[in-house]
Amino acid sequence: MIQVALENVSKIYGKVQAVQSVSLDVQQGEFFTLLGASGSGKTTLLRLIGGFETPDTGCIYIGGKDVSRLPAYKRNVHTVFQDYALFPHLSVFENVGYALQAKRSPVAEISQRVTEALKLVQLAEMAQRLPAQLSGGQKQRVALARAIVDRPDVLLLDEPLSALDAKIRMELRQELKQLQRQTGISFIYITHDQEEALALSDRIAILKSGKLLQVGTPLEVYEQPADLYVAEFIGRANFLDGMLLSVDGNRGRVQIGETAVVEGTVVEGTTAAISPGNAVRLVVRPENICLNHANIGHATTIIQSQYLGYATSYLVQAIGLNFHVMELRRRGTSPYKEGERVFISWEWMEALIFSTN
Ligand code: ADP
Ligand code: MG
């Protein structure tokens, strides 16, 4: 069932098209992430869904109802921000119960719901503390408990982990996912961290300059990026600029420099068709490159070899270019050494060719 739907939503600030004709659906109980660089329109989109902004064009539906002109407090939607915005003079319990208190819910019900929410964020023991007596991660847990205590249909989260240090961020990332699964609330989550997006999301929407480039599962956006920008933004990759020589089905041959020829899958862009003679960029991920001594592919020299335990990371030079290669450790083999001469190859299906015209 669709929980939130946007139809051709646009928002303009002066000369800035913050959000440009965005259409998307978020399912009930889905962990949905808006991913994009700073200034790509993520917060504006969230504020439109939350009712803090009104769209210039288009419609927003929550639970099938058109809420485009409905103020924030009439939408069953809560928002969690990067800065926890707790009341400093109220205890953890009172902070979490604040909205229920304001609605004059019965005391027994408040107590039961707040206790349950605090349990969900592992803060049952800290109900009587003041915010000043908590760590950053704990404060953000209180903010989360407060946001879910009256079971909204949708929870909007604007980079809620970005103020925390790396270790706490990883811990809270796991808990956030668990919280979403346990409550079944639809989460719309903002991040500019592509790894966080891959780890948490059921689906990811990638934004650039207010435009939606692709919506897909983590696997889809990583393995089948619809656009060169998406391929560059998500994960690591090697980029080879050249000219498309020929296409057979979707198997393309690309000339790199004067003489080298490599192969990949031609990705039909949403805009222009791609044909021989076009300037293209071939994208191949480090883990899809195979190093071998069997004369397959192009001759190369290992420039750098970094043993990481679970994998070895290489910098190699072939066809006049540097490549980053990642090989998972296999038992009984030893990593290639710096200066060693090997061959570099990849399956044509594992590399993607985009037009750069
Ligand atoms: P993000 O959250 O992805 O960093 P924002 O949604 O905050 O991006 O901003 C998108 C664009 O809209 C930016 O160019 C930003 O400067 C502009 N913008 C956002 N809010 C306002 C505002 N209230 N007034 C003017 N410009 C704004
Ligand atoms: Mg933002």
Strands 311-318 and 351-355: unpaired
CA dihedral sign, ordered 225, 8, 24, 159? positive
- Quick one: average pLDDT of 204-231? 96
Nearest-CA residue for ligand 1 atom 13 is 39
* Number of the ligand 1 atom closest to the C-alpha atom of 34: 3
Q: How far is the CA of 99 from the centre of ligand 1 (A)?
A: 29
The predicted structure's pLDDT at residue 329? 87
The tokens describing 251, both together, are 């198997």
In this structure, the residue with its CA closest to atom 17 of ligand 1 is: 18
Atom of ligand 1 nearest to the CA of 40: 3
**Nearest protein CA to atom 15 of ligand 1, as residue:** 39
pLDDT at 272: 60
Residue with tokens 């051709």: 8
Taking only the tens place, the pLDDT of each residue in 256-314 is 998 999 999 999 865 567 889 999 999 999 999 999 999 999 999 999 999 999 999 99
Using the mean position of ligand 2's atoms as its centre, give its distance from the Cα of residue 264 in Å.
36
Model pLDDT, residue 103 = 87
Residues with CB under 6 A from ligand 1: 13, 16, 18, 36, 38-44
The half-sphere exposure of 131 on its side-chain side, counting CA atoms within 13 A, is: 18
H/E stretch holding 164: none
- pLDDT tens readout for residues 105-145: 999 999 999 999 999 999 999 999 999 999 999 999 999 99
Measured in Å, residue 194 CA sits from the centre of ligand 1 at 20
pLDDT per position as a tens digit, 24-71? 999 999 999 999 999 999 999 999 999 999 999 999 999 999 999 999
**Predicted confidence (pLDDT) per residue in 342-351, tens digit:** 999 999 999 9
Residue owning the nearest CA to atom 7 of ligand 1: 43
DSSP-based three-state secondary structure for 331 = coil
Ligand 1 atom index nearest CA of 46:
6
Q: Whose CA is nearest to atom 11 of ligand 1?
A: 18
**What is the pLDDT at residue 35?**
97
pLDDT at residue number 269:
67
- 45: its two tokens: 């989109």
Query: Do residues 266 and 253 lie in contact, with contact meaning Cβ atoms separated by under 8 Å?
Result: no
* pTM exceeds 0.85: yes
C-alpha angle 143-148-151 in degrees, rounded to nearest 5: 160
Kindly give the distance from the C-alpha atom of residue 47 to the centroid of ligand 2, in angstroms, as a whole number.
10
When the pLDDT of each residue in the chain is averaged and rounded to a whole number, the result is 94
DSSP E strands, 257-310: 260-266, 279-284, 290-292, 298-307
Counting ligands in written order, which one lies closest to the CA of residue 40? 1
Residue found by looking up tokens 């408040």 in the block: 110
Please say if the pLDDT value at position 206 is more than 80: yes
CA-nearest residue for atom 1, ligand 1, is 39
The protein residue with its alpha carbon nearest to ligand 1, atom 6, reads 41
Mean pLDDT along residues 225-247? 95
pLDDT digits (tens, 9 = 90+) for 304-340: 999 999 999 999 999 999 999 999 988 888 899 999 9
Atom of ligand 1 at shortest range from CA of 19: 10
Alpha-carbon distance 43 to 216, whole Å?
Answer: 20
* pLDDT tens per residue, range 146-163: 999 999 999 999 999 988
Question: Which residues have a beta carbon within 5 Å of ligand 2, which is an ion?
Answer: 43
